[in-house]
């Protein structure tokens, strides 16, 4: 399972991200009408695993919803249906996570406790600290985390989370706000 080279190919163009977001939004509007999301790439077990993983990476907080609230599993499913070259790395990575959980805890990732999931993800989330024997898991998780971020921050929830205002006309430029200057330890004279 040579996942590192495959995982390295996980790059998305802005056009692909936009197409995926439009597909997710179209699917979400269908689910708002009572039609549940139907995965085209993920199996039901894989989709459950993906949903837990993305919400572990980007959980809901006081500022915004979680990755699943933003439609990240649907986003990933769409990306994987149109980019066949990424399917092996994704499917292999999800299988790796289940195999590692079975060896460590005696059950799949979905059936692990929150503490067990955290223990596994802590072992693969920090490439420089990870055991070299876990290199395949590290490569998969880093690519998965990138795809999670792409899905979340291209969603309506993600755009609101970063408080993106878009292109707005500025009547008068007054410089950087004082609170930000203080945070950076500089002032207008610097």
Share of the chain above pLDDT 70, in %: 80
Residue 34: pLDDT band by 50, 70, 90 thresholds? low
pTM: 0.72
Residue 131 belongs to some domain of the structure: yes
Residue 8: pLDDT band by 50, 70, 90 thresholds? very low
SS3 7: helix
Kindly give, in sequence order, each residue whose CB lies less than 8 Å from that of residue 153, ignoring residues fewer than 6 positions away. Answer: 159, 161, 162
Nearest CA-CA partner of 70 in 33, 14, 20, 142? 20
Element holding 170 (H helix, E strand):
none
Task: Judge whether residue 80 has pLDDT over 90.
Answer: yes
Residue 189 belongs to some domain of the structure: no
pLDDT at residue 185, as a whole number: 85
CA 74, 149, 118, 106 dihedral sign is: positive
Residue 6: pLDDT band by 50, 70, 90 thresholds? very low
With beta carbons less than 8 A apart as the criterion, state whether 3 and 139 touch: yes
CA distance 11 to 172: 39
Task: Judge whether residue 121 has pLDDT over 50.
Answer: yes
3-state per-residue secondary structure call for 46-77: HHHHHHHHHHHHCCCCCCCCCCCCCCHHHHHH
Q: What is the mean pLDDT of the chain?
A: 84
Residue 177 belongs to some domain of the structure: no
Looking at the structure of the chain, the number of domains it has is 1
Domain that holds residue 74: 3-165
CA distance 123 to 143: 15
pLDDT at residue 4, as a whole number: 39
Task: Judge whether residue 110 has pLDDT over 90.
Answer: yes
Task: Judge whether residue 13 has pLDDT over 70.
Answer: no
Residue 88 belongs to some domain of the structure: yes
SS3 177: coil
Residue 173 belongs to some domain of the structure: no
**The most confident of 9-18, 44-53, 61-70, by mean pLDDT:** 44-53
Task: Judge whether residue 190 has pLDDT over 60.
Answer: no
Q: What is the DSSP letter of 9?
A: T
């Amino acid at each position: 399972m040579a996942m590192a080279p495959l995982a390295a190919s996980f790059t998305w163009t802005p056009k692909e991200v936009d197409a995926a977001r439009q597909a997710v939004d179209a699917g979400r509007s269908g689910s708002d009408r009572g039609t549940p999301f139907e995965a085209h790439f993920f199996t039901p077990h894989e989709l459950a695993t993906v949903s837990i993983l993305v919400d572990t990476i980007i959980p809901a907080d006081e500022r915004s919803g979680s990755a699943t609230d933003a439609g990240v599993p649907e986003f990933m499913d769409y990306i994987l249906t149109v980019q066949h070259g990424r399917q092996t790395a994704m499917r292999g990575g999800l299988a790796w996570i289940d195999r590692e959980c079975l060896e460590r805890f005696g059950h799949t990732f979905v059936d692990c406790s929150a503490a067990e999931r955290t223990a596994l993800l802590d072992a693969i989330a920090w490439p420089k600290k990870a055991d070299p024997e876990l290199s395949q898991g590290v490569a998969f998780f880093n690519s998965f985390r990138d795809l999670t971020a792409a899905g979340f921050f291209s969603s309506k929830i993600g755009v609101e989370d970063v408080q993106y205002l878009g292109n707005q006309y500025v009547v008068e430029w007054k410089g950087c706000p004082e609170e930000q200057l203080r945070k950076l330890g500089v002032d207008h004279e610097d």
